[in-house]
Amino acid sequence: MMANPQSPQKMTAEEYLEWEAKQEFRHEYIDGEILAMTGGSLPHNDIALNFYSALYPHVRQKGCRVNVSDVKVQDRKNSRYFYPDLVVSCDPDDLTARDFIQNPKVIVEVLSPGTANYDRTKKLKYYRQISSLQEYVLGDSEEIVVEVYRRGEGKMWLYYEYEVGEVITLESIEFECAIDLLYEGVSFEQALEDK
């Protein structure tokens, strides 16, 4: 989903949570700024649902949970709240949480032309500050490509890119999946089909 600046007025985290609970549409909160979340395309939605379908049985066996885009992730260290396309947590507190996930292990964002730059730069910067996060996954909605940023030693993050025919690995949850399964049934732009 795409985030757009919403309100010039800044809010505290407490004000945001109270205000957000009354809103018809979702908004992320970054350091006092409110970002409206826009709808995604059908390929975006299909990819997110395919990820969820592949992850759900695997993470449930491991005693973890996976949630889709309507679940808020709270970065407690910095005053930020996000709505990732998918989030996996294995933390006992998150397994019984009712408001938001605080200790995500894996976050998945499906890229669109309008969000790709933001998700690869600012959002990557924000997410890697969440100490529990081990892997940040980006699925492209324009072509069959998945990128994985994996926490390394110290401040290092390792980068992996997967393409058609390859198997994606998420080490933190011992998950492997053929990339083709994540893109099953996804229709790309007519222009791409004509190539």
pLDDT per position as a tens digit, 111-133 = 988 889 999 999 999 999 999 99
The arithmetic mean of pLDDT across residues 162-186, rounded, is: 97
Cβ count within 10 A of residue 152: 10
pLDDT of 189: 67
Please report whether residue 117 resides in a domain: yes
Q: Is the pLDDT of residue 93 over 70?
A: yes
Please report whether residue 99 resides in a domain: yes
Q: Is the pLDDT of residue 80 over 90?
A: yes
pLDDT of 58: 96
Helix (H) or strand (E) holding 151: strand 145-151
Please report whether residue 21 resides in a domain: no
Please report whether residue 8 resides in a domain: no
Using an 8 Å Cβ cutoff, are 110 and 141 in contact?
A: yes
pLDDT of 8: 47
Question: Average pLDDT over the chain, rounded to whole?
Answer: 89
Using an 8 Å Cβ cutoff, are 186 and 170 in contact?
A: no
Start-end of H helices in 62-189 = 92-95, 116-120, 122-127, 179-182
Q: Is the pLDDT of residue 166 over 80?
A: yes
For residue 141, the domain's CATH number is: 3.90.1570.10
Distance CA 42, CA 64 (A): 28
Strands 65-68 and 86-89: antiparallel
Q: Select from 31, 78, 69 the least CA-distant residue to 48.
A: 69
Please report whether residue 14 resides in a domain: no
Range of the domain at 62: 39-194
Using an 8 Å Cβ cutoff, are 182 and 139 in contact?
A: yes
Q: Look up tokens 């939605």; give the residue.
A: 45
The arithmetic mean of pLDDT across residues 66-80, rounded, is: 89
Phi/psi for 76 (5° steps) reads -65, -35
Two tokens, residue 143: 């072509």
Distance CA 13, CA 3 (A): 18
Please report whether residue 170 resides in a domain: yes
Please report whether residue 13 resides in a domain: no
Please report whether residue 48 resides in a domain: yes
Q: The whole model's pTM is what?
A: 0.89
Two tokens, residue 34: 């409110």
Report the domain count for the chain.
1
